[in-house]
Chain A
């Protein structure tokens, strides 16, 4: 759970961009989602972000979605870099800033794309007094999707790849949030169906900016159980990205908002930063984070 979670924090869901001029009209659903997947992976590369994950029970008041309780807030800083011949593996470090009870908790994760190869995760808790390896298994294990840091996002919502395990169709070209979009349906095959909680997903992809603006997830009875909404689509380092993602759980009436308060890509990140030293050596970590910020100025 942890390692795949970190993989998400390092990037984001549906931070979609298409490099170059691609004639969308010539693409089928699989092609589009493959490009989406590749773009998501690319957006992880050499990135630094500060993220706030807010969750609450929600309702509707005067036509607006509102929180029915004081939101729970987690603040995280994450650095990630892709490795391997095709940049398919990801090393990432995530440090918890808030809430206070979890401040300083650090995780280092190596996520491997190779089927069957176990990911590696190390955890640092100040109470533990040392870095500790966590056995996290590989990304393909048939485990139940887990909540990401206690939010309504799950590890399943964060996965990249696996597109060949879906039947993907373009349903229509329509509009959402005032933008022209492709409405794309993804239905899992028999093997994938055993691992997923969704019998069907529908994604709305911005045709001009190539950003996912909305997703709907349906259960085995065809009922919509979760809805993802993207907003704050901004051009960051020549990449269109959604800086605010909100997952609404329509069964429990809880929602989580993932806000990328700071997000930078294509940074010069030293390999040494993505080692266990970053977990234990806070003086080194803070200095290197300042160096990363300095690259932006």
Chain B
């Protein structure tokens, strides 16, 4: 805890000179009458922008880069114990979880008429006391990955994108039942929004922009699956058998889908259909209990519909999904799969997500999303004594609220999310302050409460505090 506070203190030391430097140039206001017509205003105050060439077509290719450097500190600060089972408890001590330097680079270049190259990637360095540092045997560790990387060709009514990208379906904010195309990774508690967890895949996407409606179709020639929890992360628990990625063994697997979308006055609707693989692998015990757990993939058919409707400053969202042949015994939480007694049953499932977004004024916004799913013919195929992981209606709810102050420089945001059964609650409060056009600083507090019916019981009464300072250019 004390070490964590020291790190947080460093942030303040880091930021303070920036704030002070902005005050050093304070001009003398005393005695000057701002309303006087004698005061001279020169609009070159902001540089000679009017002297630049108005038709500068020879921009440097380097101008396509956007870079963000960030340093993050994050830790669990509540010393307590957790009792997932009666009589079995373990301590949860306050400790630093994240102490890492991040580099995010994005590049976009429309290098010729109708052509565009877009790429983004990230690198992380894990410093002392970061969980990845500890998992690396107490040595500084580093990691990098490519996120987006696609080439786009647009002509007439068509656009093709080849490469790593994401496809997002559904209208409901944060927990749509249709947002299942790309795999996700909730690596630790700093990532609680699906927008941050979504991973890119190698795809070809074809968009057709019609006069009254649009088609968007994709084919994924290399479907990927939710990665297993990283050793050392808060979500990592030593499994009986090592959880590995799916072994393709030369399998040629693919995903394909299409969406038709049309906008009306104050409303948008979409219909979609897809052949997909479940993003979450199911793990089974290895043969003869030797070696790694066996990762099993499952393909299914998705049919969906989504719509929204704006009424004044209120936006209603609705998604409907029918899934044919999903595995009945997969947990609905990312990164967690059932290992014990797999039922190996495929079933149909129907799900909906719905909610609203409301902006009571120009600074505040409130959204609610409810996701509910149900396995059809639950009992069919079950042996006596067998039970589905998810029985009846199951799902989650999500509330987000934000309020901006100081001419958009300060944003207060909060998120509440839990499951429909009321077994768990995650609450997050964040403050984001934009210091200037380059620097931002964010602080977060996250608390979790859960009972033993939820996998989040392992994080019950956890309280996390974190801060991130970023420089963008």
Contact = CB atoms under 8 A, between A and B. Distances in A.
B83 interface: no
B45 A283 contact: no
Interface string A116-134: 0010100000111110011
Q: Which 4 A-B pairs have the closest CB atoms?
A: A146-B362, A286-B110, A59-B27, A283-B116
Contact of B27 (A61, A104, A118): A61
Nearest to A54: B46
26 contacts: A60-B34, A64-B40, A64-B42, A65-B41, A66-B45, A67-B25, A72-B436, A72-B437, A98-B437, A100-B66, A100-B437, A104-B66, A128-B195, A129-B166, A134-B315, A135-B358, A136-B313, A141-B312, A143-B361, A147-B407, A151-B407, A261-B52, A277-B214, A282-B116, A283-B154, A290-B57
Contact of B315 (A133, A143, A257, A287): A133
Nearest to A234: B50
A286 to B, nearest CB: 3
Interface of A: 1, 52, 54-55, 58-61, 63-73, 98-101, 103-104, 118, 120, 126-130, 133-138, 141, 143-147, 149-152, 155, 224, 227, 229, 231-232, 243-244, 246, 248, 250, 253, 257, 259, 261-262, 272, 275-277, 280-284, 286-287, 290, 293, 296-297
A248 B268 CA distance: 41
Interface of B: 22-23, 25-29, 32, 34-35, 38-43, 45-46, 49-50, 52, 54-55, 57, 66-68, 106, 108, 110, 113-116, 118, 152-154, 159, 166-168, 195-196, 198, 207, 209, 214, 263, 265-266, 268, 308, 310-315, 357-359, 361-363, 407-409, 434, 436-438, 440, 470, 472-473
Contacts of A63: 32, 38-40
A99 B52 CA distance: 19
Given A129-B168, A283-B154, A144 B362 contact: yes
Contacts of A144: 361-362
Contacts of A275: 209
A69 B45 CA distance: 12
A220 to B, nearest CB: 18
Given A146-B363, A246-B41, A283-B152, A68 B114 contact: no
B236 to A, nearest CB: 26
Nearest to A145: B362
A17 B179 CA distance: 50
A60 B114 contact: no
B136 to A, nearest CB: 29
B408 A281 contact: no
B362 A1 contact: yes
Given A54-B46, A101-B440, A147-B407, 19 more contacts: A54-B45, A59-B32, A63-B32, A64-B39, A65-B40, A104-B108, A127-B195, A150-B408, A151-B407, A244-B50, A246-B43, A259-B46, A259-B49, A261-B49, A262-B55, A275-B209, A282-B108, A283-B114, A296-B55
Nearest to A277: B209
A195 to B, nearest CB: 13
A233 to B, nearest CB: 12
Main secondary structure of the interface of A (DSSP, over half): mixed
A58, A229, A284, A290, most chain B CB atoms within 10 A: A284
Given A100-B472, A141-B312, A231-B43, A69 B23 contact: yes
Contacts of A282: 108, 110, 116, 118, 152
A276 B66 CA distance: 24
A26 B438 CA distance: 53
A281 B209 contact: yes
Nearest to A155: B362
A276 B22 CA distance: 40
A100 B473 contact: yes
A286 B159 CA distance: 13
Nearest to A216: B35
Nearest to B356: A135
A250 B437 contact: no
A65 to B, nearest CB: 5
A133 B41 CA distance: 41
Contacts of B32: 59-60, 63
Contacts of B265: 120
A52 B46 contact: yes
Contacts of B26: 59, 68
